[in-house]
Amino acid sequence: MTAATSTTTRRLATTAALAALPLAVLGLFFLLPVAGMVDRGLRPDGVLDPGAVLEVLTRPRTGRVVWFTLWTATLGTVVAVVLGLPAAYVLHRLRFPGRGLVRALLLVPFVLPTVVVGVAFDLLLRDGGPLAGLGLAGTPAAIVAGLVFFNVAVVVRSVGATWEGLDRRPAEAAAALGAGPWQVWWTVTVPALRPAVVSAASVVFLFCATAFGVVLVIGGVRYASVETEIYLLTANLLDLQAAAALSLVQLLAVVALLLVSARLRTTADPTRSRVVAAPRRPARGDLVPVVVTALVLLAVAAPIAALVVGSLRVDGAWSLASYRALGADPGDAGGQALLVPVTDALLNSLRTAVDATWMSVLLGLLVAAVVTRRSRSRAERRVRSLLDGLFMLPLGVSAVTLGFGFLVTLGRPPLELRDNPLLVPVAQALVALPLVVRTLVPVLASVDERLRQAAASLGASPARALLAVDLPVLWKPLVGAAGFAFAVSLGEFGATSFLARPDHPTVPVVIFRLLGNPGELNYGMALAASVVLAATTAGVMLAVERLRVPSLGAW
């Protein structure tokens, strides 16, 4: 064996070793359940029956559901981009007091539990709510508004990060050649931002098209998207075949979309020097974006304010009764909806989130390391980008499919994991994994390989080089990603609703159960629990925002 091939072998062996654990986890807890779920739908009696799939897909209701999903997601994406661009500009190119706070506030909706967002919008729009006059309660418009509320942060963050790092010299060069502000905008800035905008839009579309909690809580059973339809078919109608068929369609659409967005994703070339413009004070010409940003802020604050106010009103008077009821034994409180006090559920949520966090950060770090190692050959590069895409899959696969697949495949021998307390955290870790990977990959990729080579040439071992070169830039994003994963885990509803045992619920599950039961107290408790959950996630995100992680939530 020559030296060259032995080096290659060693490189491949290292890569394989790094990828082994994430691949095993992904295979066992994601691919297997999803495959099990799909298999169960496609071969109901052990025989492949493609005709049945076609039958499901040609049902008029399926057509309506798919159409509804497509147009709400498209509209939600367009509105999120239109509102997000001016806000990205204001929050990343202008300088004003309180900028950091506004940025953090705009990020909060993205990590708010979907159930909480649904409740907040319902509260705002329902009869007797502050915006009842708009007559939007339970309408598709309300669903789209919920989707926009949820996703505008994605546009602001990822386009903002690109905008902030935009080299100012091409724009100056254009101005020095006689281009006016609008000509600079169209000929220089727009082409430079286009990849970031397109990739943010494709991710937002993905989030909108697979949204579960928001659609379920606001739309109820009247308006179903593919995601909620899978849930209804699975949990209520027990039509697994139809659910599997829809899951399959969704999976294919998501893979196609991921491929497109991966192609559009660009990482900054670390070897290119950039001259980045310092943020400047707002000028008269910035009036329009500033006003739009203020409106977005208002629109984001309104549902949250409605939620807080609603949780403090009992029988038309201010009261903390709803909060007090959270700690009460369900028997005393009179609500038969729950088996344990909500405070117990909160403890469950926190414990689960801690477990999910370390799991997703560990896996995410390994995946990011594998994906960003420099490839020596075309084939190697292809393998890496394939891995990159593979770990993005949980982003788009219905959490409901995942949750139900867990039940189907892991609930019986040989994998009797149904009652394992780590099942819920593992599922949540997989849901958070793409976010962790996407936070860490740009950072690792932006480390100039020559810095590592310089360290090596000065006698540093690979581990020392890692300490000297990677760690200083990585620790903040790592903490940020952990906070992100923690917040996502706290709010995860789709998969958890299937997996959490009734005597060990998490807070989002409890909220949904409270909403499904009649009674003023149950509703009040749902609101109070939502506030507690929102405050916890917001607190985590505010702490993370203080770290100023550049690529947090950047796609």
Q: List residues binding other proteins (CB under 8 A).
A: 169-170, 172-181, 183-184, 187-188, 191
- The nearest distance, CB 274 to other proteins, in angstroms, is 11
Q: At which residue do the structure tokens 């979309």 appear?
A: 257
Other CB atoms within 10 Å distance of the CB of residue 141: 16
Could you give the angle at the alpha carbon of 77 between the alpha carbons of 76 and 78, nearest 5°? Answer: 95
Closer residue to other proteins (CB): 184 or 534: 184
Closer residue to other proteins (CB): 175 or 302: 175
Cβ neighbours of residue 108 closer than 8 Å, sequence gap 6 or more: 153, 300, 304, 534, 537, 538, 541, 542
- 3-state helix, strand, coil split of the chain in percent (to 5) is 75, 0, 25
Phi first, then psi: give them for residue 267, nearest 5 degrees: -110, 140
Direct distance between the N- and C-terminal alpha carbons of the chain, in angstroms, rounded to an integer: 42
- The nearest distance, CB 187 to other proteins, in angstroms, is 7
Q: At which residue do the structure tokens 């895409």 appear?
A: 389
Closer residue to other proteins (CB): 187 or 375: 187
Closer residue to other proteins (CB): 184 or 474: 184
- The nearest distance, CB 22 to other proteins, in angstroms, is 35
- The nearest distance, CB 163 to other proteins, in angstroms, is 17
Q: Is 225 in a helix, a strand, or coil?
A: coil
- The nearest distance, CB 96 to other proteins, in angstroms, is 17
Closer residue to other proteins (CB): 195 or 330: 195
Q: Is 317 in a helix, a strand, or coil?
A: strand
Closer residue to other proteins (CB): 10 or 280: 280
- The nearest distance, CB 146 to other proteins, in angstroms, is 37
Cβ neighbours of residue 377 closer than 8 Å, sequence gap 6 or more: none
Closer residue to other proteins (CB): 274 or 382: 274
Q: Answer whether 359's CB lies under 8 Å from 426's CB.
A: yes
Q: Answer whether 361's CB lies under 8 Å from 481's CB.
A: yes
Cβ neighbours of residue 143 closer than 8 Å, sequence gap 6 or more: 72, 214, 215, 218, 219, 223
- The nearest distance, CB 271 to other proteins, in angstroms, is 13
- The nearest distance, CB 261 to other proteins, in angstroms, is 20
Closer residue to other proteins (CB): 7 or 183: 183
- The nearest distance, CB 453 to other proteins, in angstroms, is 22
The sign one gets for the Cα dihedral 458, 461, 467, 469 is: positive
User: HSE (CB half, 13 Å, CA atoms) of 276?
Assistant: 12
Closer residue to other proteins (CB): 91 or 174: 174
Q: Tokens representing 414?
A: 């040989």
- State which amino acid sits at residue 237: L
| Bond from prior residue into 414 cis (ω within 30 degrees of 0) | yes
Closer residue to other proteins (CB): 58 or 273: 273
Q: Is 318 in a helix, a strand, or coil?
A: strand
Q: At which residue do the structure tokens 């903002």 appear?
A: 160
- The nearest distance, CB 94 to other proteins, in angstroms, is 17
Cβ neighbours of residue 34 closer than 8 Å, sequence gap 6 or more: 247, 251, 397, 401, 402, 405
- The nearest distance, CB 197 to other proteins, in angstroms, is 15
The DSSP code sequence of 223-286 is: S--HHHHHHIIIIIS--HHHHHHHHHHHHHHHHHHHHHHHHH-----TTS---BPPPB---GGG
Selection from 371, 471, 500, 490 nearest residue 432 by Cα: 490
As a whole number of angstroms, the distance between CA 261 and CA 310 comes to: 40
Closer residue to other proteins (CB): 27 or 191: 191
The DSSP code sequence of 356-420 is: HHHHHHHHHHHHHHHHHSPPSSHHHHHHHHHHHHHTTHHHHS-HHHHHHHHHHHHEETTEE-TT-
Closer residue to other proteins (CB): 222 or 284: 284
Pairing mode of beta strands 313-314, 317-318: antiparallel
- The nearest distance, CB 378 to other proteins, in angstroms, is 20
- The nearest distance, CB 182 to other proteins, in angstroms, is 10
As a whole number of angstroms, the distance between CA 202 and CA 200 comes to: 5
Closer residue to other proteins (CB): 188 or 408: 188
- The nearest distance, CB 170 to other proteins, in angstroms, is 5
Closer residue to other proteins (CB): 167 or 449: 167
